[in-house]
Amino acid sequence: MTDAMEDGTAAAAALVVGRVPVVDEAGTIVGFELVNRASAGHGASTTAQGREAVVSMSGLLGTVDVDVDSVVGDRLLFCTIGRDVLVGDSPLHLSPRRTVVEVPMLADDPELLEAVRAFRDVGFTVLVPHSARTPGTAGLLDLADLVKVDLGTGTPEEVMDVVQGYAGGPADLLAAGCDTEERLAWAQAVGFQLFSGSAVKSPPISGSSTIAPSALSQVQLGMELLSQELDLARIEKVLRRDPALVAQVLNMASSGAGGGLRRQVRSLREALVVLGTVRIRQWAALVILSRHGRVESDALVTALVRARTCELLAPDHGIDGPFAFTAALLSALDIVLGVPITHIEDRVQLDPELRRAAFRRQGDLGNLITTLEVHERTTGAGRAPDPAHGDTTEVEAMAFTWAAGQAGTMAPAGASRSYRPRRRPALR
């Protein structure tokens, strides 16, 4: 997990603002490593700016109130655990079966070693960062189901020596820092089993990629839903083209706001009234667009976080929120569809003002989207955000909580594949 918690104070102030996929040799997402940022004055159960709940690291680790499925779906949670949590008395409310705990590599620490052994014995998968084997580090390395090697910390020759040192051993290897396609391909070739980095989070956009005509019409439909003031009859007509969408809409409306009490919904029209016009237009458009996105990437969540963050910040800039959401989402279609943004702009019909903001970054809204893109890259690279970005961290945390839940409703059944390390912990 990026920006790991070093003590209880940091844990209480850390808000989850994103996630980085971890993929296997076939490119299948097996889990997510969470990105978190320190935020002044926000604890586990608070709300950022009083608008929406956020997921905090202390809440995720220390309470049963956080739904892990809403954060990582049905994949594994890769979670860095500080020494104080590992050796403390408070229980960790995470499922051992689906949690990979990254533990600090602290040499000559018998108390930590015993705590890690206890975590492993109850079924947690243990990940340790690579370290030279010495009498002080051998104990932790012997408990590792996974060893993480940062490709950026040495030359290719030095990394090769590390890989060869683990060859034939019981632990799998995770290549961190796969920040280019070339580095990712190299790591796949030399013997790593798992991979993470910016090339995994946002695969490069191919200049030669095109959108199939059938997909293009669906993309245009999604944009129409987002950019037009449609009445309920028009939305109902659009949704009826897709029975699967109708079923999802009915289920969504029946579940109640935020997963609350269920209610009986008897018709699509009633479901639309319950959900609200703006919300259902956004949701239906997202489902349509997600079907043509890159399946094995987390681009949709990245796009949703950008759009929701922009929507929440827009009123402070004198900009209409739903309009900002639409523009920011459209601005991220290149990473969702894997094609250049100019290719999309040339092939769809849009309101001129929306086109200028989304595709050309012009005007106040275009400037806001550009700022969020910079913040997005900073977050993904693990760097501290620009102080000039103000409360963007808190708003981004709110947006991530919302986006992860939305993406979960769009994921096709059976899209993931469970990863288990070669060596499983034996219960005492």
pLDDT tens-digit series, residues 207-225? 555 655 556 666 666 766 6
Q: Are residues 360 and 263 in the same domain?
A: yes
Q: What is the pLDDT of residue 221?
A: 67
Q: Are residues 197 and 222 in the same domain?
A: no
Domain presence at residue 420: no
Q: What is the pLDDT of residue 412?
A: 52
Contact 174, 195 (CB under 8 A): yes
Q: Are residues 116 and 224 in the same domain?
A: no
Last residue of a domain, one of 174, 201, 228: 201
Domain presence at residue 423: no
Domain presence at residue 376: yes
Q: What is the pLDDT of residue 403?
A: 86
Domain presence at residue 86: yes
Q: What is the pLDDT of residue 185?
A: 93
Q: What is the pLDDT of residue 311?
A: 92
Measured distance CA(428)–CA(426) in Å, rounded? 6
Q: Are residues 194 and 96 in the same domain?
A: yes
Domain presence at residue 346: yes
Measured distance CA(187)–CA(182) in Å, rounded? 9
What is the phi-psi region of residue 38: left when phi exceeds 0, alpha when psi lies from -120 to 50, beta otherwise?
beta
The CATH number for 187's domain is: 3.20.20.450
Q: Are residues 48 and 135 in the same domain?
A: yes
Domain presence at residue 195: yes
Q: Specify the number of domains making up the chain.
A: 2
| CB count in 10 Å sphere of residue 422 | 11
Domain presence at residue 315: yes
Q: Which residues of the chain have pLDDT under 70?
A: 1-13, 39-52, 63-66, 203-221, 223-231, 238-239, 241-242, 244-245, 255-263, 277, 279-281, 288-296, 380-390, 409-418, 422-428
Q: Are residues 288 and 190 in the same domain?
A: no
Q: Are residues 253 and 345 in the same domain?
A: yes
Q: What is the pLDDT of residue 52?
A: 59
Q: Are residues 57 and 83 in the same domain?
A: yes
Last residue of a domain, one of 152, 167, 201: 201
Q: What is the pLDDT of residue 428?
A: 41
Structural domain including 271 reads: 213-410
Last residue of a domain, one of 146, 181, 201: 201
Q: What is the pLDDT of residue 3?
A: 43
| CB count in 10 Å sphere of residue 50 | 6
Contact 395, 310 (CB under 8 A): no
Instruction: Give the pair of three-digit tokens for residue 114.
Output: 């015993």
Domain presence at residue 425: no
Q: Are residues 127 and 237 in the same domain?
A: no
Instruction: Give the pair of three-digit tokens for residue 221.
Output: 């439909």
Q: What is the pLDDT of residues 280-331, one digit of tens each?
A: 667 777 776 666 656 567 888 888 899 999 999 999 999 998 889 888 988 9
In angstroms, the first-to-last Cα distance of the chain is 28
SS3 annotation, 348-402:
CCCCHHHHHHHHHCCHHHHHHHHHHHHHHHHHHCCCCCCHHHCCHHHHHHHHHHH
Q: Are residues 124 and 258 in the same domain?
A: no
Q: Are residues 102 and 239 in the same domain?
A: no
The phi, psi pair for 202, rounded to 5°, reads -135, 85
Q: Are residues 312 and 377 in the same domain?
A: yes
